[in-house]
Amino acid sequence: MASPRSTVSAATADAGPGRLIASGLLILGLAAATVSAARAEETITAHGISTFGDLKYPADFAHLEYVNPDAPKGGEMSQWAFGNFDSMNPYSEKGRAAGLSSIMYESILVGTADEIGSAYCLLCTTLEYPVDRSWVIFNLRDDVKFSDGTPMTADDVLFSYETFLAKGLTDFRTLFAQRVEKAEVLGPLQIKFTFKEGVPWRDMPQEVGSLSIMSRAHYEGNNRDLSLDSLEPFLGTGQYVLDSMDVGRSVTYRRNPDYWGNTHPLNIGQGNFDTIRLEYYGDYQAAFEGFKAGNYLFRNEASSKEWATSYDFPAVQDGTVLKVALPNGNKANGQAFIFNLRRDKFQDIRVRQAIALMFNFEWSNKTLFYDLYARIHSVWENSDLAATGTPPPEEVALLQPLVDQGLLNASILTDPAVMAPTSGDRQIDRGNLRAASALLDAAGWTVGDDGIRRNATGQKLSVEFLNASPSFDRIMLPYVENLVALGVDARMTSVDPAQFESRVRPEGGYDFDMITDNARSNYISGNELLQYYGSETADVSTFNAMGLKSPAVDAMIEVVRSAKTSEELTIATRALDRVLRAEQFWVPQWYKDTHTVAYYDIYDHPETLPPYALGELNFWWYDAARAEALRAAGALK
């Protein structure tokens, strides 16, 4: 383990002793104040930063442990993408950006796939920050080049920050404007960010260090606008650049042979493919047929049905295509049916509880998913951050003030964490049907002569599931049938990906009842929670799809953001998880703890994969000899 190098510059406090002898307490107070002042002046200079504890890799590390430093360069990695695209700008709310369109940009700091909470200098040599992290200075490398060969300077970093602040996504602008006091260039290769008083500084160095960097000269010289969709990329420093595209159908990125960072320790053994290609398909079945035909060669299978029943075609049988389950140590992604809480009908939690009761996961897993999945219950499912059972005293201490303020029901202090409903073997669980019916009756949605539930004003209880994936029909339609049996005017509306994006985004007015989305989370949570679940960004965020506005959640987010140790953060995150689950803004879906992948036998990977990434685009590589053998046998186009 490596510890950051520290330099201490402590100011002396020259207070005459005669003024202090009057009280021993004053002497102790001065001593404490002197220590505090000294620590405030302590500046840490290091090659990286960790939220808690030490960095795994020392300043002189040769390469990341999980890569093959001798991996060959060459070949193509090809995958599929869903829907279509009409833009190469991943930072605008307008248009539908092509997959991997952010691959051309880098940030000052980057994380690794075998650590949580650490970030290392990529575009910098070192960073400097005080113990309290109230500011950070990045000392930039002098060899970083944009893909046109021009040098990157601190001015480009400042320009990128100011451009994102003025024209980036609304929730980003809102949050950063409240947290960054100023950004200033100290020299051609040195930039400083100072953070505002009154906000937690713990994560701010990493957050500003994660900004994508663009070229000022290219942006201004070409009259670009970050807020608009465009098929012309901005100029970045990344290892890959745009090679070609067939708009809406395919896009190819090529490795820049003059990439500045080829010998950087963070890049050794990574970025091994000459090209990366994405082929777009309108539905999963068409994409699967394209894979069988060799139109693309690597598939991360998302369909349990296809995985269980369809990988018996000749290329699998003769070994041309490998079907492999690889370990996946990631927490679940929070996939769920999400309620749009901006709708009046979903304001009553009893309505949400009733609708949740009618999704039969157990039947779906057995009948539709071939028992390949486990149920999601927590926003931090499959990690030790998930709340379990009744809250221990440490969590109660955080939740009690919210109960005392009337923001939470007192039952949260004694009841187990909310779990997703369980059901029986039949599509409609009669017990759940009765329970859901009682909830809706109590909420004022009663069944009329036509079998439809209405409220006192005669309004139907209608629920529209917006769906852009035909392969999801077989999952949604039984759920719709169950809700119809409950008396809900339920339906699934199929739309194309462009319509879906338009309706679920802020500028489209969040025009949906329920969608499949993700309840997002990180292992080390901080300011991003405000974008995911904060009241302030609920009507402008592209991430807070449900429009959650909960004073209790807001309060717990502040506790998480203020955590000073790993233990404090774990306790606070579990308490937040408990509060989020009590809001019941979702109907949790499912996850699996393996990567189910199939690929033509021309790719290879390190024997031991890191716990937090499959990494097929990063540290896998192309085997030219095996590819030539398959091509000679007619198995490859």
What's the pLDDT tens digit per position in 439-450? 999 999 999 999
Predicted confidence (pLDDT) at residue 570 exceeds the cutoff of 80: yes
Query: So what's the pLDDT on residue 497?
Result: 87
Residue-by-residue DSSP string for 565-582: SHHHHHHHHHHHHHHHHH
Share of the chain above pLDDT 70, in %: 94
Please state, in angstroms and rounded to a whole number, the distance separating the CA atoms of residues 101 and 105.
Answer: 9
Query: So what's the pLDDT on residue 38?
Result: 44
Domains in the chain: ranges and CATH: 5-46 (no CATH), 48-221 (3.40.190.10), 240-329+593-632 (3.40.190.10), 335-591 (3.10.105.10)
Give which of 294, 438, 424 is closest to 359, Cα–Cα: 424
Predicted confidence (pLDDT) at residue 26 exceeds the cutoff of 50: no
Query: So what's the pLDDT on residue 561?
Result: 94
Please state, in angstroms and rounded to a whole number, the distance separating the CA atoms of residues 636 and 155.
Answer: 47
Query: So what's the pLDDT on residue 1?
Result: 32
Query: So what's the pLDDT on residue 181?
Result: 97
Q: How many residues does the chain have?
A: 637
Query: So what's the pLDDT on residue 14?
Result: 29
- 3-state SS string over 581-629? HHHCCEEECEECCEEEEEEECCEECCCCCCCCCCCCCCCCEECHHHHHH
Residue pair 548/338 in contact (Cβ under 8 Å)? The answer is no
* CA 420, chain centre distance (Å): 22
- More confident site: 18 or 431: 431
Cα dihedral across residues 540, 544, 550, 556: positive or negative: negative
Give the least confident one: 6-15, 356-365, 520-529: 6-15
**Model confidence band, residue 172 (pLDDT cutoffs 50, 70, 90):** confident
Predicted confidence (pLDDT) at residue 11 exceeds the cutoff of 90: no
Mean pLDDT across the stretch 130-141? 97
pTM across the whole model = 0.83
Query: So what's the pLDDT on residue 513?
Result: 98
Query: So what's the pLDDT on residue 29?
Result: 37
Long-range contact list for 282-290, CB < 8 A, 24+ apart? Answer: 282/82, 282/83, 282/84, 282/470, 282/496, 283/469, 283/470, 283/471, 284/82, 284/469, 284/470, 284/471, 285/470, 285/471, 287/80, 287/82, 290/80
Query: So what's the pLDDT on residue 41?
Result: 66
Mean pLDDT across the stretch 205-229? 97
Query: So what's the pLDDT on residue 53?
Result: 85
Report the run of H or E that residue 555 belongs to, with start and end.
helix 551-562
Give which of 155, 103, 140 is closest to 259, Cα–Cα: 103
Predicted confidence (pLDDT) at residue 173 exceeds the cutoff of 90: no
Predicted confidence (pLDDT) at residue 274 exceeds the cutoff of 80: yes
**Model confidence band, residue 22 (pLDDT cutoffs 50, 70, 90):** very low
CA trace torsion 383, 384, 389, 393 (10° rounding): -150
Please state, in angstroms and rounded to a whole number, the distance separating the CA atoms of residues 390 and 388.
Answer: 7
- More confident site: 416 or 34: 416
